[in-house]
Structure 1
């Protein structure tokens, strides 16, 4: 049965509504970044760029890096945007946009996030590269989908008990990155971590400017959490949503984090742009190995 026009919204030219893309304009390997301006920071390393477009915060470029076709796409900040980006990416490869019917043969994309993050562990130094093995979402995105089969409920339960989780907040969900991509992109230059995906940058990540926090000790509780040797290492705003929707849609995803702040020590990188650029080059070269 065709998907209704109100559910799968297309632009007048037949492209998906928010991303403004047609299926042939993306590759099977996608790099996501938060900042629209960071797209060019990735594609400046490409041999060539064949296509680019931008609508709102969603900036896309597709081209060749050492002979491999790669798409770089900005998501903006937060898992609400991840919901848009990942559903529309999936529609591009798994739904016939002309007939509005799901394809009989489904395609799996490789999706790699390159983003910035703050460590909450003294042992994860500034300017390090951290790969998110697990991610816990403090938003509610995955709870809107039939997703329990992909959640690590025992870790979630232990986390809520350890932090004395405030009942008015959304229950954390825990998901895992793709094992094959993890093996491919890991090296002695990377740390393996457990990422907390927050719903905001200030209060949800324990920053105080003028507003008091509901739980001023939450970051310390997160830092001291340990489940069978797994400790929460860093805070950011997209990874859990990326992992959850990728699992549900049948795609492979991994989050690469440039650690530009250490919340435990109060330090911030002296050259965060250089750290991100080094992570970009590292990730691109690992992709084509």
Structure 2
């Protein structure tokens, strides 16, 4: 009788099934927006940009920032597709990942466009439960997180947005985030809520790579600021988060 397929062993050193990328086509650090249509925003900061692959929700480009090869790969929405993207990027040579995306504020005074640096994620998702014990922490790389905060603060000097850091929630169900759920997470001191970081952190730890996250605030679920009204502030926050991530990647030579 066959022993079955061991997914931890198959598909190595080949073009990856989901992200469509092969070894040698990417750098050692990857920025991870959720939306494939935000990958071109990363490319605006790069020179010698090259399209690598676009399969399903995963779009990948490479380019140079201050002489360093940078990869950008979109994860899609949620922990399942994020875990797949990180697993496959590791298989083709990536050793650091930085999520740059959108996130809703959970504390009063957090404004759309503010930069939110994650210190760890509350695992309100199902994907990480398939990987690890329920008490396993979802935390970013410390050195990378501190550098993301420093880079963001340098960029924010004299600008109309704040830089904040704290714990965030990773949630699976966008439309199940009721006012009661929001109030409870806010009471627990969670700074913001998004849908991908817990899987990114857990997979990164298990595979021995670095991970960090800096997001632009898209809305505030306790103050009533809606993503539909964020407009230019959200876009400018995306650009600032990308620049901070790129600066951190160069400073740390990821």
Matched residue, 2:245:
283
Count of aligned pairs: 234
- Asked if structure 2 preserves the Cα contact closer than 8 Å seen for 1:9 and 1:17, the reply is no
Q: Report the Cα distance in structure 2 between the residues aligned to 1:16 and 1:5, rounded to whole angstroms.
A: 16
Displacement of 1:266 after TM fit?
0.7
TM-score (norm 2): 0.84
Matched, 1:73 2:80: no
Change (3 A) 1:6 1:256: same
Please list, as runs of the form range in 1=range in 2, the aligned pairs for 1:199-214 lying within 5 A after superposition.
199-203=172-176, 205-206=177-178
* Secondary structure, aligned partner of 1:127: coil
Matched, 1:183 2:122: no
* Secondary structure, aligned partner of 1:81: helix
Matched residue, 1:99:
none
Displacement of 1:286 after TM fit?
3.2
Which of 75, 80, 99 matches 1:113?
99
- Residue deviations 1:219-255, cap 9 Å, x none? 1111111xxxxx2111110011111111111111001
Q: Report the Cα distance in structure 2 between the residues aligned to 1:18 and 1:285, rounded to whole angstroms.
A: 29
More helix by share: 2
Matched residue, 2:185:
222
Which of 175, 197, 200 matches 2:170?
197
- Residue deviations 1:130-186, cap 9 Å, x none? 1110101211222222x34xx7x3xxxxxxxxxxxxxxxxxxx64211101012111
- Asked if structure 2 preserves the Cα contact closer than 8 Å seen for 1:114 and 1:257, the reply is yes
Matched, 1:137 2:123: yes
Q: Report the Cα distance in structure 2 between the residues aligned to 1:73 and 1:285, rounded to whole angstroms.
A: 18
Matched residue, 1:265:
223
Q: What is the RMSD of the two structures over their aligned residues, measured on CA atoms?
A: 2.3
Displacement of 1:10 after TM fit?
4.8
- Residue deviations 1:47-93, cap 9 Å, x none? 21144211111100111111000100011000010121122122223
Question: Which sections of structure 1, spanning at least 5 residues, go unmatched?
Answer: 94-107, 154-172, 207-215, 226-230
- Asked if structure 1 preserves the Cα contact closer than 8 Å seen for 2:49 and 2:62, the reply is yes
Could you tell which deviates more after superposition, 50-59 or 13-22?
Answer: 13-22
Displacement of 1:6 after TM fit?
6.8
Matched residue, 1:160:
none
Q: Report the Cα distance in structure 1 between the residues aligned to 2:127 and 2:111, rounded to whole angstroms.
A: 30
Question: Which sections of structure 2, spanning at least 5 residues, go unmatched?
Answer: 157-162
